Amino acid sequence: MAFGVVAASFSRVPSIVTTRGCYVTRASLPNKSLKFSKEYNWKHNSRSIFERRGSTITTCDEKKYLVNVTQSNDEVEPHSKTIFNSIIHALDAFRKFSRLYAFIAMVVASLSTSLLAVDNLTELYPAFFNGFLQCMAAYFFMHLYIVGINQLADLEIDKINKPYLPLASGNYSFRNAVITVTSFLLTGFGIAWMIGSKPLLWTIFASFVLMTAYSVNLPLLRWKKSTILTVMGCTISMVLSFNLGPFYHMKTHVLKKAATFPRSLLFAVVVMSMYYIVIALTKDIPDIKGDKEAGLQTLAVRLGPKRVFWSSVLLLEMAYGAAIIIGASSPFLWSKIFVVLSHAIMALFVWYRSTLVDLSNKDSLQAFYMLIFKLFSVENILMLFVR
């Protein structure tokens, strides 16, 4: 279309097209070269008309009628590459938003606890895994709601503590995030309702109440302002979601058996509760700066990172001590040896690793926090050997 308009505009003026896709009309030629004829040697006079440097063309006459109708291939990004980069960017933003490392830890813990509901290997039939996947589907959307509502409530704080998050960085708009997070909540409840598992539905509901109260800034809520309420809310929510909920969902709804409270489940609740308390405490250590400016009196703000850090390490060591005591009381020799030895090694590793943490470095503290999730996943695997 542009080519036709240009041609029509200068149809009465003899012209040539340069190799750069630009029209050069008779008016742009030197006065002495205005004799247009078949004998005119364009090649001979081309250097007197243009001075080419890089991608620019300069005319020597005062009147210039240069119209750019093409674009350099170097300046055009392939459409397929643009789409691919957009997809990668969107997936990376979702990864940051969803905190997938926490959901992976939930999957490991839920699978480990679900296996505790199995009395013999013959019960590991397709219905078992189907029931587990149904549970994880509901948990996944509830997990997205929990991390989403927390980021919505902590938007200004995250601009200081976690500016890389999609909401804090502006990749997600606040309005769209509210709509998306609400849809996650409704989807999680909808899946649990369709499954028809009462333990699963009550677990989803309890997590919704506790973590909403923890995050939103409404009267009598915003529990993260209180260390006691923070620890209580996070610990109860994780015990229900990671341990009790999956166990009783698999035991009563999937396997159709009577509800029990075996020794292995007691081990899971006692030891993992200490992990949950440690997670609730250490998550605030790298965020002291933003929490101070927001007026949140977390334990890390009040006591300082050093005291909270070493208190958390001590709690982990106590968790391993409790695991060793429970493991040593096992009537099975193989379980006794394995549980005691493995937890003794983990206790030594945690102590050694904690001595390497630089408490003045936010990245070092964050790395230790991520290590806790890895240890948490390992602990859930070891839990299967408790008898």
Q: How many CB atoms lie within 10 A of CB 32?
A: 8
CA nearest 133: which of 87, 191, 177?
191
Q: Checking phi first, is residue 21 left (phi over 0); if not, alpha (psi -120 to 50) or beta?
A: left
Strand partners, 304: none
Q: Per DSSP, what are the bridge partners of residue 56? A: 53
- What is the distance of C-alpha 78 from the center of its chain? 29
CA distance 83 to 91: 12
Report the C-alpha gap between 40 and 148 in whole angstroms: 73
Contact 373, 105 (CB under 8 A): yes
The structure tokens 């408790």 sit at 386
The pLDDT value given to residue 263:
83
Q: Helices (DSSP H) in the chain: which residue ranges?
A: 2-9, 42-49, 79-98, 100-116, 126-153, 155-161, 166-169, 174-195, 198-215, 227-238, 245-248, 263-282, 288-294, 299-303, 305-328, 333-354, 362-382
The answer to whether residues 321 and 347 touch, using CB atoms and an 8 Å cutoff, is yes
**210 Cβ partners below 8 Å, 6+ apart?**
233, 234, 236, 237
Q: How far apart are CA 297 and CA 85, in angstroms?
A: 41
The residue type found at 26 is R
What pLDDT sits at residue 203?
94
DSSP structure string for 212-260: HHHH--STT--GGGSHHHHHHHHHHHHIIIIIIHHHHIIIIIIS-----
Q: For position 122, what pLDDT does the model report?
A: 82
pLDDT at 324: 92
Instruction: Report pLDDT for 77.
Output: 56
C-alpha atoms less than 13 angstroms from C-alpha of 296 in its C-beta half-sphere: 27
| Rounded Cα–Cα distance for residues 377 and 387 (Å) | 19
Closest CA to 277 of 313, 321, 326: 313
Task: Yes or no: say if 341 and 328 are a contact pair by the CB < 8 Å rule.
Answer: no
Q: How many residues are listed for the chain in this entry?
A: 387
CB 92 within 8 A of CB 164: no
* Cβ–Cβ under 8 Å, residues 42 and 30: no
| C-alpha–C-alpha distance, residues 132 and 144, integer Å | 18
Q: Per-residue b/e over 311-337, b at no fewer than 16 CB within 10 Å?
A: ebbebbbebbebbbebbeebeeeebbe
Name every residue whose Cβ is closer than 8 Å to that of residue 47 and which is 6 or more positions away in sequence.
none
Cα separation, 311 vs 277, in Å, equals 11
- State the DSSP code for 76: P
Per-residue model confidence as pLDDT tens for the chain (387 residues): 444 443 444 444 444 444 444 444 444 444 444 444 444 444 444 444 333 433 444 444 444 444 444 444 445 556 677 888 888 988 988 888 998 888 999 999 999 999 999 988 888 888 899 999 999 999 999 999 999 999 999 988 888 888 989 999 988 999 999 999 999 999 999 999 999 999 999 999 999 999 999 999 888 888 888 888 888 999 999 999 999 999 999 999 999 998 888 888 888 898 899 999 999 888 888 888 888 887 777 888 888 889 999 999 999 999 999 899 988 888 889 988 999 999 999 999 999 999 999 988 888 988 999 999 899 889 888 888 887
Residue 25: phi, psi to the nearest 5? -95, 175
